[in-house]
Structure 1
């Protein structure tokens, strides 16, 4: 599953775009210096995410929309088309 697919699954589950969730996290005071476990606990308790999806979104909270290019342009199961994640939601990509 690509990183973007994780974000899409989170959006489908919560009804919130990644950007909306990021803003909620920032309103909680979470950012680049927040420990991952704190963010994961919040995402699991308040947002209802499972551990894997919470860990994936924690990266967005701590590092933003840019991801490493290890899987960009590859053919593996974790491939991504870009090293920049779309946070504006599924509908924005479909229009």
Structure 2
């Protein structure tokens, strides 16, 4: 599955776009100025995504990769 397919599936499931997740991560304090804060671990972000949006591990990691700067295909 391509990275874009992961993002499309996540948006279909949650109704949230990649830019929505970026804004939410900033609001949650995981990012600052669009960059993941140095003291934030991947597990913190994936645990949040799994709990709040019922994402599986792979889809949560796709959002984490997006927050780390990976661009959609």
| TM beyond 0.5 | yes
Higher helix share: 2
1:9 aligns with 2:19: no
- SS in structure 2 of the partner of residue 6 of structure 1: helix
For residues 6 and 43 of structure 2, the distance between their equivalents in structure 1, rounded to whole angstroms, comes to 18
Instruction: Report how far residue 4 of structure 1 moved.
Output: 0.8
After superposition, give the CA deviation of every residue in 1:42-94 in whole Å (9 maximum; x if it has no partner): 00001211111001111112x22xx3xxxxxxxxxxxxxxxx327xxxxxxxx
1:55 aligns with 2:61: yes
The runs of 5 or more residues in structure 1 that have no matched partner are 68-83, 87-95
**Aligned pairs for 1:2-81 within 5 A:** 2-31=2-31, 32=36, 33=38, 34-61=40-67, 63-64=68-69, 67=70
Structure index of larger Rg: 1
The alignment covers a number of residue pairs equal to 67
Taking structure 2 as the reference length, what is the TM-score of the superposition? Answer: 0.81
Taking structure 1 as the reference length, what is the TM-score of the superposition? Answer: 0.64
The runs of 5 or more residues in structure 2 that have no matched partner are none
Pairwise CA RMSD of aligned residues?
1.4
